[in-house]
Every structure is written in C-alpha cells, then in structure tokens.
Amino acid sequence: MTVSAPSTTSTTSTTSATASAADRPGSLDRAVRTAGRLMVGVLFVWAGIDKIQGWSGALQEVAGGGLPFPALTLGLTILLQVAAGAAVMLGRWLRPACWALAAFTALATVLYHGFWHAAGAARHAELITFMEHVCMVGGLLVVSTLEGRPRA
C-alpha cells in the first residue's frame, strides 16, 4: 500500500488566482483602494484650502490653542495638509504623508478637542469630534500600508 502526500496544487492555484485578480488594473479591490485613498486625501487638501480662505479665523483658532508663533504654525499646518493630502490622493509618498498627517491629527485632536475639560452637551460634542479624529488617524494608518501608484 502506497501513501501519498496530500496535493497542495489546488490550494496554491486558488491563492495565486485570487492574488492576481486583486492586482489586475481593472479589479474592484484596486478601485476601492483608490477611492479610499482619494477620500482620505481630499479631506486634508480641503481643510488646508479652507484655512487659507478663512485665514483670520484659523489664525484666531491657532492662537486660542496657545501654540507659539500662530502665523507660522498656521502656515506650516496648511502646507502639511495640502502637500501631504495631495500626495495621498496621488498615491505618492504614501507612508510618510500618512504618518505625518496621522501625527498632526493626533496632536491637534488632543490639543483642540479635550472632551475631558468640558461638561454636558459640550463634552458630548467634543467626545464625538475626538473619536471622529481617532478614526481619521486609523484610516491614515491603514492607507499608509497601501502600495502607491507605480512610477511611469
């Protein structure tokens, strides 16, 4: 009686077929990754442009947070949001762009949405905003693991 090892051919071919389907240019997975990347990036590009358009109000907000050199801080914030947001949208320098935006968002969330200092309805509103920002940081970390667009 001869005993043979179980065949792994079907498992291997199924796995490689699944992997190659996800890597095809027209695949649904690629479209979903691209859409997600665009949605995450546009949030920051828009926020930066909004700060430019509402410079005086944004400057008051930065100064109100007690940060040093409010005009410089605001200018650097806008530069980061627009440049890194655009990089995410374009699929370039994903890891550094996402990590920079995640660090910035985490810091801004702690500085400007301290629900632990508020009470009643204001506490609830700040807690919701705080948690939304935590979700943005999580999304940025996930996007940072995606492959960027191939170079032409």
- Contact yes or no for 77/62 (Cβ under 8 A): yes
pLDDT at position 37: 95
Tens digit of each residue's pLDDT (9 = 90 or more) over 33-84 = 999 999 999 999 999 999 999 999 999 999 998 889 999 999 999 999 999 9
Q: What residue ranges do the domains of the chain occupy?
A: 27-143
Q: Six-digit token pair at 122?
A: 């204001």
Residue bearing tokens 């665009």? 38
Scan for tokens 């043979």, then name that residue: 4
CA within 13 Å, CB half, 44: 29
Is residue 58 helix, strand or coil? helix
Q: 5 to each of 9, 16, 104, how far by Cα in Å?
A: 11, 21, 54
Write the pLDDT tens digit of every residue in 83-138.
999 999 999 999 999 999 999 999 999 998 888 888 999 999 999 999 999 999 99
